[in-house]
Amino acid sequence: MPTPRILVDADACPVKEEIYKVAWRHEVPVVVVSNQHLRIPAHPLLTRQVVSDAFDAADDWIAEQSAPGAIVITADILLADRALKAGARVLSPTGKPFTTSSIGSAIAVRAIMADLRAGGDQLGGPKPFATADRSRFLQALDAAVVAVKQGR
């Protein structure tokens, strides 16, 4: 049974505090990965991994560390795909799980949106992050940690 650990794509992650709370409750180690030095609480379960500011350096590090038992937190669809292929579980900061059955359509939508933006269309950004997103994320991360611990 794989040992759970949480890998956080941290530069723009709005749920770091929630991740820490779940990790402490379940005694699961967390690696906070970023291109710059971020403050994290002093706690033996939390470590910081600062990578270079090269394009996709954080994504590359997380993808290389992804394996069964890992829970990756990212909004990056291409990183989610790489982590899933390595056997990790992947959650968005809104609590939406990326799965092997949903990632293909997410990549396709991402490509369509990029094409529309490249053509000059004004599409707006994502919805503002809401309290309901935070709550859904907490529930989803808790469930993912429990599932990994139980070998599901």
pLDDT in tens, 17-68: 999 999 999 999 999 999 999 999 999 999 999 999 888 899 999 999 999 9
Residue predicted with more confidence, 57 or 106: 57
Give the domain range for residue 26.
Answer: 5-149
For the chain, what percent of residues have pLDDT higher than 70? 84
User: Residues 84-105: what's their mean pLDDT?
Assistant: 88
User: What pLDDT digit, counting tens, does each position of 66-80 carry?
Assistant: 999 999 999 999 999
- Determine the pLDDT at residue 8: 97
DSSP 112: H
Instruction: Return the structure tokens found at 144.
Output: 């993912």
Q: How many domains does the chain have?
A: 1
* CATH number, residue 142: 3.40.50
Angstrom distances, CA of residue 103 to CA of 74, 82, 92: 13, 10, 12
How far, in Å, CA of 71 to CA of 73, rounded? 7
> Regarding predicted confidence, which is higher, 139 or 113?
139
Q: Is the pLDDT of residue 106 over 80?
A: no
d(CA 27, CA 75): 24
